[in-house]
């Protein structure tokens, strides 16, 4: 590692290396989104039934977007994040603003920003929205 590289993800943000308040690992973040996807598809199936497989993907994406917007605005977590002990916060500390939650959600649904990471392991969507996902336990 070069002298300007952090020793661990989140170090440059002043976060601990592990434990509560540390930057969430990629594995936990992916597991959380898989849980959220499963829940969104379940709700979408209840709404549109068997049409989900043919034309209901927009319904599932809409449910997921609402889950993100409402969950992050209220508690800082979606159901999947809460189950895995994760929370979205501002990179300046504290709760993410409604604007940041909205920006993060829009960028997440564009997908490309979510797979481009910075030196701290944050996705481009988090970097642009000035948010980060930290562990709560």
Output the pTM of the full model.
Answer: 0.86
User: Which tens digit of pLDDT belongs to each residue from 85-127?
Assistant: 999 999 998 999 999 999 999 998 887 777 788 888 888 899 9
- Going by pLDDT thresholds of 50, 70 and 90, the confidence category of residue 75 is very high
Contact 76, 85 (CB under 8 A): no
Contact 113, 131 (CB under 8 A): no
Contact 132, 13 (CB under 8 A): yes
User: Which tens digit of pLDDT belongs to each residue from 18-28?
Assistant: 999 999 998 99
DSSP letter (8 states) at residue 95: B
């Amino acid at each position: 590692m070069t002298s300007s590289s952090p020793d661990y993800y989140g170090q440059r943000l002043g976060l601990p290396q592990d434990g509560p308040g540390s930057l969430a690992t990629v594995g936990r973040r992916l597991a959380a989104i898989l849980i959220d996807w499963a829940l969104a598809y379940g709700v979408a199936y209840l709404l549109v039934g068997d049409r989900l497989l043919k034309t209901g993907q927009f319904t599932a994406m809409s449910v997921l977007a609402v889950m993100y917007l409402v969950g992050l605005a209220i508690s800082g977590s979606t159901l999947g994040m809460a189950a895995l002990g994760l929370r979205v916060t501002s990179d300046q500390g504290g709760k993410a603003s409604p604007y940041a939650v909205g920006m993060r959600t829009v960028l997440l649904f564009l997908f490309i920003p979510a797979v481009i990471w910075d030196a701290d392991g944050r996705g481009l969507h988090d970097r642009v929205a000035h948010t980060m996902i930290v562990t709560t336990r």
